[in-house]
């Protein structure tokens, strides 16, 4: 309230200072800003680093590419092994070569064995590597919530600190 005295008539004029609606809204919005900031931080962190976010998606794409390369390698190994199997099923010379590598022969053959050499000369079959799919690396949901709440709390604390400083000055 503001009081003023009119000297000519001797009356007191009372004027009330009214707060405008804009000031009330702005006063309320400054307390809602930390909430909006926390929601924004949560949304950005979830989109970029969350369990279903962009970085997890990129990790899954890289894992898919590794799995596809391993699958292609396994297909090549399968073709080679099927070729060896077909050769052993239908080609007598391949059977004889394989039998000699394993140390077998016919009745009219004689072998000279060198100790330690026969195992190294044998053909080794490789069936591929077993790959275990790794889950994508992502920021934990609890961590994202905590960071966003701390961000909102820090902004609210700053607003309250500035308000207290204004009251002191």
Looking at the domain assignment, is residue 16 inside a domain? no
Question: Is residue 21 one of the residues assigned to a domain?
Answer: no
Q: In this model, does residue 105 exceed pLDDT 80?
A: no
Q: Using CA atoms of 48, 53, 58, 59 in order, give the dihedral in degrees to the nearest 10.
A: 110
Q: Are 40 and 26 in contact (CB under 8 A)?
A: no
pLDDT class of 10 with cuts at 50, 70, 90: low
Determine the structural domain holding residue 151 and report its residue range. 29-168
pLDDT tens track for 66-101? 999 999 999 999 999 899 889 889 988 888 888 877
Report the distance separating Cα 87 and Cα 125, nearest Å: 15
Q: What is the pTM of this model?
A: 0.60
Tally the domains of the chain.
1
Q: What mean pLDDT is predicted for residues 29-53?
A: 93
- Of these ranges, 20-34, 61-75, 99-113, the one predicted with the greatest mean pLDDT is 61-75
> Quick check: is 5 in a domain?
no
């Amino acid at each position: 309230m503001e009081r003023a005295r009119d000297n000519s008539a001797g009356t007191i004029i009372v004027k009330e200072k009214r707060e405008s609606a804009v000031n009330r809204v702005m006063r309320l919005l400054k307390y809602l800003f930390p909430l909006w900031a926390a929601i924004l931080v949560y949304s950005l962190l979830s989109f970029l680093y969350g369990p279903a976010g962009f970085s997890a998606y990129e990790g899954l794409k890289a894992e898919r590419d590794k799995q596809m390369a391993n699958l292609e390698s396994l297909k090549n190994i399968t073709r080679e092994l099927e070729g060896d199997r077909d050769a052993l099923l239908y080609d007598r010379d391949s059977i004889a070569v394989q039998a000699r590598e394993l140390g077998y022969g016919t009745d009219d053959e004689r072998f000279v064995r060198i100790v330690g050499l026969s195992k190294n000369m044998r053909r080794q079959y490789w069936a591929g590597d077993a790959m275990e799919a790794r889950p994508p690396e992502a920021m934990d949901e609890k961590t994202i919530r905590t960071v966003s709440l701390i961000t909102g709390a820090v902004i609210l604390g700053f607003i309250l600190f500035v308000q207290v400083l204004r009251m002191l000055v």
